[in-house]
Amino acid sequence: MRLSRAGFTLTEVVVVISLLGILAAVAIPNFIDFRTDAKTAVTKDELAALKRGIVGDGRIVSGGAYAFPGYEADMGAPPGNLASLVTYSTNPNGYYDPIVRRGWRGPYVDTSSISDYSKDAWSQAYTFSTGSRFIRSLGPNGANDAGAGDDISIDF
């Protein structure tokens, strides 16, 4: 009589589970880095879009004039806050006057491509300064490193 030996021994199962655990320990940190890299790239794209909304895009010229001059060219000064790029707020210059070519001609940021233009990919509000002329994300750690460390910043 012959005994059939179906299945695995306890030693084989323990070895396979140990190998899977080691593989997971090596792979998981790499996947976390991919998420951080993706969020960093999204935040950089949003900062570039906000900068274009403020200072315009000098690469696009139509009829000898900039096709997208930006908030600063239309209003004569940078916005007081990022919300001014999307919605008209009370401003002494008012709506756009085609004779003097001044006034709000927004929105300057396409909110259909940016889910929340005022927050970075980590859901932290951007730091915005018209005096120092920068927009900054606090980065993955969420701490203000004054533009150093993992902060992501763009000047305008």
- The rounded average pLDDT for each run of 10 residues, N- to C-terminus, in the chain (156 residues) is 76 95 87 85 93 90 84 88 80 64 81 77 92 92 78 91
Question: What are φ and ψ of residue 65, in 5° steps?
Answer: -130, 155
What's the predicted TM-score (pTM) here? 0.72
Q: Where are the beta strands (DSSP E) in 44-139?
A: 57-62, 65-68, 127-129, 134-137
Specify the pLDDT at position 102.
Answer: 76
- Whether residue 59 contacts residue 85, with contact meaning beta carbons closer than 8 Å, is answered with no
Contact 86, 106 (CB under 8 A): yes
Report the mean per-residue pLDDT for the chain.
84
Annotate 116-130 with b (16+ C-beta within 10 A) or e (fewer): ebbbbbbebebbbee
Q: What are the tens digits of pLDDT across the range 47-85?
A: 999 999 999 988 888 888 888 888 988 888 899 888 888
Domains and CATH numbers, the chain: 12-155 (3.30.700.10)
